[in-house]
Amino acid sequence: MKHTIQYGNSEITFDLEYADRKTLGISVHPDNRVVVIAPLDSSQQKINEKIKSKASWILRQKEFFLSFHPLTPPRKYISGETHLYLGKQYRLKVKKSQVENVKLSKGYFLVSTAEPMNALKVKSLLIAWYNEKAEVHFHEMLQNVKPIFKQFSTEKVELKMKWMKKRWGSCNDKGQITLNTELIKASKKCIEYVLIHEMCHLGYLNHSRSFYSLLEQHLPNWKKTKYELEHFMV
Ligand SMILES: [Zn+2]
């Protein structure tokens, strides 16, 4: 059964199960589900109290999992399948040509290559194209976002890009922000959300209350955007 408790500004929804056991078990799953297994004789009030006492841990686990890459179905890099760019889907058309290139045209990703049946080749051409676009868009967004973080000497900020399996972005104490190149497949709003999240780490290198209030201040709608990002590519 689903239950919800309020903890500060957050709601924690959990599946409650009962089992013949002595202690209450809480687990947070990668699909963001919180499962609570309670001893048979525990009261709802006791369970809620216990969850409240573990709430900050639960929220941290959820945050951890949400930074993971969503499960994108594998691509075969053949004509007809869809590929993403800035939040839109484009159908792939691979054609044989002596000139190698990638173009977006009329809703299609047109990949020209001498080896149209070579999936690895098509993939590498698409990756190179994404790298190029990410470089342009991520830097442009950084320039747009910088002025709202004036208090953190943003001239030090160094933007890097990397294809990562487990996170959308990171920020270290030297002001190096790394964005997952794969974000170029998401909408600009989602990319901006990740960038602003990482910029907030220039002030706080953790996910503390102060961090979230700064994020909230710059992006009051961030939870909705985060949800979009995590559910978009699945
Ligand atoms: Zn973070």
Give the pLDDT confidence score for residue 19 in this predicted structure: 93
Q: Which residues contact 6 (CB under 8 A, 6 or more apart)?
A: none
22 backbone φψ class: left, alpha, beta (φ>0; ψ -120 to 50): alpha
- CA-derived radius of gyration, the chain: 22
Q: How far is the CA of 197 from the centre of ligand 1 (A)?
A: 6
| 3-state secondary structure at position 10 | strand
User: Is residue 103 domain-shared with residue 218, that is, in the same domain?
Assistant: yes
Q: How far is the CA of 27 from the centre of ligand 1 (A)?
A: 21
| Whole-angstrom distance, CA of residue 37 vs CA of residue 15 | 8
Q: Which residues contact 108 (CB under 8 A, 6 or more apart)?
A: 90, 91, 92, 93
| Whole-angstrom distance, CA of residue 205 vs CA of residue 170 | 10
Q: How far is the CA of 83 from the centre of ligand 1 (A)?
A: 27
List, in sequence order, every residue forming a beta bridge with 109; answer none if it has no partner: 92, 104
Does residue 72 belong to any structural domain of this protein? Answer: no
Does residue 77 belong to any structural domain of this protein? Answer: no
User: Is residue 94 domain-shared with residue 151, that is, in the same domain?
Assistant: yes
User: Is residue 103 domain-shared with residue 199, that is, in the same domain?
Assistant: yes
Give the pLDDT confidence score for residue 68 in this predicted structure: 52
Inter-residue long-range contacts of 210-219, CB under 8 Å, 24+ positions, other chains counted: 212/9, 218/148, 218/149, 219/193
User: Is residue 165 domain-shared with residue 227, that is, in the same domain?
Assistant: yes
Q: How far is the CA of 165 from the centre of ligand 1 (A)?
A: 16
Does residue 23 belong to any structural domain of this protein? Answer: yes
Give the pLDDT confidence score for residue 29 in this predicted structure: 72
Q: How far is the CA of 207 from the centre of ligand 1 (A)?
A: 6
Residue type at position 193: Y
Q: What is the CATH number of the domain that holds 196?
A: 3.30.2010.10
* CA distances (Å), origin 223, targets 45, 87, 228, 229: 28, 18, 9, 10
Q: How far is the CA of 208 from the centre of ligand 1 (A)?
A: 10
Q: Which two tokens stand for residue 226?
A: 């985060």
Q: Which of 39, 66, 93 is the last residue of a domain?
A: 66
Q: Which of 66, 94, 110 is the last residue of a domain?
A: 66
Q: How far is the CA of 194 from the centre of ligand 1 (A)?
A: 9
pLDDT digits (tens, 9 = 90+) for 138-185: 999 999 999 999 888 778 899 999 998 778 888 888 889 999 999 999
Residue-range definition of the domain harbouring residue 153: 82-232
Give the pLDDT confidence score for residue 234 in this predicted structure: 43
The residue length of the chain stands at 234
Does residue 220 belong to any structural domain of this protein? Answer: yes
**Helix intervals (H) in 146-232:** 188-200, 209-218, 222-232
Q: How far is the CA of 115 from the centre of ligand 1 (A)?
A: 41
Q: How far is the CA of 154 from the centre of ligand 1 (A)?
A: 17
**Helix intervals (H) in 67-218:** 119-145, 188-200, 209-218
Does residue 76 belong to any structural domain of this protein? Answer: no
User: Is residue 17 domain-shared with residue 109, that is, in the same domain?
Assistant: no
The pTM of this model reads 0.72
Does residue 134 belong to any structural domain of this protein? Answer: yes
Q: How far is the CA of 126 from the centre of ligand 1 (A)?
A: 29
Does residue 74 belong to any structural domain of this protein? Answer: no
User: Is residue 151 domain-shared with residue 225, that is, in the same domain?
Assistant: yes
Could you give the number of structural domains in the chain?
2
User: Is residue 88 domain-shared with residue 140, that is, in the same domain?
Assistant: yes
In the chain, which residues have pLDDT < 70? Answer: 30-31, 64-72, 232-234
| Whole-angstrom distance, CA of residue 187 vs CA of residue 185 | 7
Q: How far is the CA of 103 from the centre of ligand 1 (A)?
A: 34
Q: Which of 20, 39, 66 is the last residue of a domain?
A: 66
User: Is residue 57 domain-shared with residue 87, that is, in the same domain?
Assistant: no
User: Is residue 119 domain-shared with residue 206, that is, in the same domain?
Assistant: yes
